[in-house]
Structure 1
Amino acid sequence: MIKRLLFYVLSELYGLITSCRNALYDRNVFSSKHFNRPTTLVIGNLAVGGTGKSPFVAYLVQHWPFPERLGILSRGYGRKTKGFRMVESTSKASEVGDEPLAYKRQMPEITVAVCEKRVIGVEKLQNEVDTLFLDDAFQHRAIQGDLNLLCTTYDKPFFIDKMLPLGRLRESSEGVKRAQAIVVNRCPATMTDAKKSAFESYGLPVFYTRVRYGSPVGPALNEIKNWHLVAGIADPLPFFKQAKSLGDIINQESYEDHYAFQTADFQYWEYIAKQCQADTGILTTHKDFMRFQEHLADYPNLLNHLYYLPMQMEFVSEEAEFWTWMKQSLKR
């Protein structure tokens, strides 16, 4: 009871602070910079993570219909470096963050960079790209994007959530007013009219997407029937659920989002891998694999048994309508 009361007080305080900050930006007390070049698209969320933002960014880049030079700018959360850095396919997750590295390896032809100060990052990339996707920048009010796309999920929408630490919101649901569209990710096969009406009650265009998983990617051609699962992401439940369709689950371990695996963790998973038979593997997410990879040379058994599960986003319906809206919004 006392803990919940404390969380409630902290939640109210956090909400007051973020509301005051937003009010200062809205009244131009704090300045917000708009760039004529490049075109900037802000993709973000009101919650702290697990809203399907990363697959949506990858989808936009991979399906972009205009002949332009594209780039992704991220804060590079979890990296051990500071300042502006270009992301290369040979970079390490500890240098640039797991999500930017995953973007670069998935789309090596695209410019990917990290910078915690987004204004500086955009300035550095002005001559490199024509359209820049600002990953997880919805609360970065120092930049006024050309288009703000707000991601949420069908099962855990922002309008039923609470402020940190009582819930997962970084700011109140009033922040939706800064968006030009809502993208609802991880939708089920059947959506209720009542739930759709709730999303659409904000008077914004709403688009519904779902996740499609691929086959596990890893070192061996053997058919894997048994899995150890490991995930360090904000919402591992969809990953765990999908893994159950791939075989028998021996055990599953979850860590906090963007968890920096320690030596003891690698030693533990090396021990697990050493016990694995030919039909047994260790399965993780693509982002977690980025953090594992730079250490695998020191753990040969883990190297030979570690797989990741690729995923991509697709529209439930109205994909053509989304791109029509995008062209009109960007005046292309």
Structure 2
Amino acid sequence: MKFIRLLLLPIVPIYFIVTWCRNKLYDLGMKKSKNYNFPIICVGNLSAGGTGKTPMVEYLIKLLNENYNLATLSRGYGRKTKGFVLASENSTANTLGDEPFQFYNKFKNSIRVSVDENRQRGILNLRALNNKPELIILDDAYQHRKVEAKLNILLTTYSNLYAKDIVLPTGNLREPREGAKRAQIIVVTKCPDNLSEEKKVSIIAELRPKDYQHVFFSSISYAKEVIGNSGVVALNNLKEFTLVTGIANAKPLVVFLKNSGLNFNHLEFSDHHNFSKKEIESIAKNNLIITTEKDYVRLIAEPTLSNKLFYLPIKIAIDRQIDFNNLVKAAIKC
């Protein structure tokens, strides 16, 4: 795969020019972004692949939902529907996409969850609802420049900083690195727990933030138990199991489980993988299956897996958490 991407290197300048020109048209006002008279937060990245957007959206929901009538709006990647869909008790991962369905399962009693590939239309539909949302969080919409957010939070992983990357198809960037200037907050995600202050300073120097930008560091915090239809099981009580992942980067999870001294084999699939009937039958042959929460919301609907499938909850820990929280709250009040 890496060799093929290297062969595509001649296309990189073309992709760079096209995306650079598109952004410049928005910057110059020749292409219009719609501004709104209520707060919108955009969570996104420059890179294709997992940078931790879902845990960040969940963090923001927990931070803000007590003070705002809140909604999330996602594209709904991988869903089998089109247009605007508002999550309801009849929703599934197929109608919403796995990540929005995860939001709905966790927060259905306190927020509205919606999907629409056209973010302007999605916002219009949300605001037309009775008891319309006062705040909307856009999930993975950093490149969706038709909407001007009040606050842009840009994520980049510790192991693959956008400052060290190039655009697709050889690199992983969806747009040139200078697109980072649109963010007010930059979060370096999936950092080691023992990241030193010296290393943080070094990373900030590599990112070269503007004067108006604030850089934070976050790490993944794993729960001490897994959860499933059959109940809750402590990690240290797990014997042998099969780990099933369909996410962009399963390495941090694999490392955590290995460092916990657990014995497992790993079935790794691509991000947002649509599991075939044959794959489900093969997975179901295992006695105990551990997966991510994102994969769980899709796989739990399979009758052959429902009593043997568990997920490991995660959350993010942000350094200078109070400063981060205050910046977010201040930005959406402006």
TM-score by length of 1: 0.90
Task: Tell me, yes or no, if the aligned pair for 1:69 and 1:131 is still in contact at 8 Å.
Answer: yes
Aligned residue number for residue 287 of structure 1: 294
Identify which of 316, 321, 324 aligns with 2:323: 321
Deviation at 1:245, TM superposition (A): 4.0
Sort the Cα spacing of 1:166 and 1:55 in 2 relative to 1 into closer, same or farther, 3 A: same
The residue number in structure 1 matching 2:272 is: 258
Q: Report the CA distance shift for 1:270/1:73 in structure 2 as closer, same or farther (over 3 A).
A: same
1:309 matched to 2:312: yes
Which position in structure 2 is the counterpart of 1:330? 332
Choose which of 214, 217, 222 in structure 2 pairs with 1:213: 222
Moved more, 225-234 or 194-203: 194-203
Q: Which residue type is aligned with residue 190 of structure 1?
A: L
Q: What does 1:9-24 align with in structure 2 at a 5 Å threshold?
A: 9-24=10-25
* 1:55 matched residue in structure 2: 55
Give the distance between the partners of 2:329 and 2:268, measured in 1 at CA.
40
The alpha carbon displacement at 1:329 in A equals: 2.3
Q: Deviations over 1:245-295 (max 9, x none)?
A: 455333212111111111111111122x2xx3xxxx21111101111122x
Alignment match, 1:194: 202
Secondary structure of the 1:212 match is: strand
Alpha-carbon distance in 2 for matches of 1:205, 1:229: 37
Structure 1 stretch displaced more, 212-221 or 68-77: 212-221
SS of residue in 2 equivalent to 1:261: coil
Aligned residues: 319
CA distance in structure 2 between the partners assigned to 1:217 and 1:247 by the alignment: 19
Q: 1:70 Cα deviation (Å)?
A: 0.7
Confirm whether residue 230 of structure 1 aligns to residue 244 of structure 2: yes
Q: What is residue 110 of structure 1 aligned with on the other side?
A: 111
Match of 1:46 in 2: 46
Q: Is contact 1:229-1:249 (8 Å) kept?
A: no
Q: Secondary structure at the match of 1:217?
A: strand
Is the 2:5–2:169 contact (alpha carbons within 8 Å) kept by the matching residues of 1?
Answer: no
CA contact (8 A) 2:40 2:332 kept: no
Q: How many angstroms does 1:53 deviate by?
A: 1.1
Conserved in 2, the CA contact under 8 Å of 1:184 and 1:208? yes
Identity %: 36
Q: Is the 8 A contact 1:119 1:142 kept in 2?
A: yes
Cα RMSD for the two superposed structures: 1.9
Preserved contact between residue 89 and residue 105 of structure 1 (Cα < 8 Å): no
CA distance in 1, matches of 2:65, 2:96: 28
TM-score, normalised on structure 2? Answer: 0.90
Amino acid at match of 2:24: A
Residue segments in structure 1 that go unaligned for 5+ positions in a row: none
Matches within 5 A, 1:80-91: 80-91=80-91
What corresponds to 1:74 in structure 2? Answer: 74
**For 1:216, what is the secondary structure of its paired residue?**
strand
Between stretches 203-212 and 91-100, larger displacement belongs to 203-212
Do the aligned partners of 2:57 and 2:137 also contact (CA within 8 Å) in 1? yes
> What is the aligned partner in structure 1 of residue 9 from structure 2?
8
